[in-house]
Amino acid sequence: MESKLQKYIDDIEEIDTSLLPDLQSRMDNLTKPKGSLGRLEELALHICLIVGRPDPPLKNREVFVMAGDSGVVEEGVSAYPQEVTPQMIHNFLNGGAAINAIAATTGFDINVVDVGVKSDIGADSPSLYKRKVRRGTRNFRKERAMTIEDAMQSIVTGIEMVLERNKERGLDILATGDMGIGNTTPSSAITSVITGSPVKNVTGYGTGIDPNGFVTKVKAIEESIALHKPDPSNALDVLSSVGSLEIGAIAGVILGAAIIKRPVLVDGFVSQAGALIACSLKPEVAAYIIPSHQSFERGSNAIWRHLGLRPYLYLDMRLGEGTGALLMGNLIEASLNVFNNMATFQDAGVSGKR
């Protein structure tokens, strides 16, 4: 498994920036004051560079909602019981969740991938992929969340989901999503270890725990990190000791997007934890990430700062599922319509700046 993961990682290439001068020249000569569309201009150029062409296709959009359960919920870190994870998966498949409503307005197809749900998902749906690595993680306050082999397999599962869907359909834009009761706890643990931030500074209220629950959550994470002493420079050690399967699979989706040279819209806090793992394994993948939004979860800002990325949206969202990431779909479409369909000063016969 190690050699398989390494081969995938070795397939990732740095983005070719040789197109940037020509792209920037066109952007600067459109009928507007230079830079007047702010980060919309930045977004268009970023997408073009990732795909390697000035007119990137936008038709085939898919979100990968990675689902798993975390054993640490035994410690009282979530306001909801673990059976909500499979119940919400059925809700996704039946079209009743927030991700379904937002996907319908932004043109994304939804893939729900069971990489580590504790129970079996009985549904039979073309949108459901049963790729269970194991039945949830262990309680990492007492023992490592999973083996190194499980951690690698979760990442490879995410990569291969992307490669499979790309082979079947040809993907233009990818997005990450998550489902797993209690998964902001491993997300906070990963964030604290890799960014070096104190646990209390990167831990939030997740599903809506009360102040006592917050204290319990922080203590559980601090004691877990002290117990396992994960190496911040070793992403697999961090993921296997205090992580979760769906976070590993999200890291795989991000790596997969880089392999096929497509933009990946990274969602909120849990997805960002996956981005930390992915970028620790291969720093070059950060250039393929479109940072969608600043999650209301406390650790979100620490992750974006660590990765050197600045999110586009500030909506105080903290739902997960991929909801924030999908909102970027139409913004990307608008930015590229500006870039490709606006007239230049010369085309329009408009006088340029003196």
Active site residues: 321
CA-CA distances (angstroms) from residue 129 to 66, 144, 155, 214, 327? 10, 26, 15, 33, 24
**Do strands 173-179 and 289-291 pair parallel, antiparallel, or not at all (unpaired)?**
unpaired
**d(Cα 6, Cα 94) in Å, to the nearest integer?**
37
> Phi, psi (5° rounding) for residue 287?
-70, -15
Query: Nearest 5°: CA angle at 276, between 336 and 258?
Result: 45
**d(Cα 65, Cα 144) in Å, to the nearest integer?**
24
Q: 225 and 277 in contact (C-beta within 8 Å)?
A: no
Q: Which residues pair with 344 in a beta bridge?
A: 30
CA-CA distances (angstroms) from residue 262 to 9, 51, 163, 239, 304? 15, 6, 11, 25, 20
Tokens of 91: 């809700």
In 188-220, which positions are buried (b, 16+ CB within 10 angstroms) versus exposed (e)? Answer: bbbbbbbbebebbebbbbbbebeeebbeebbeb
Tokens of 68: 């798993």
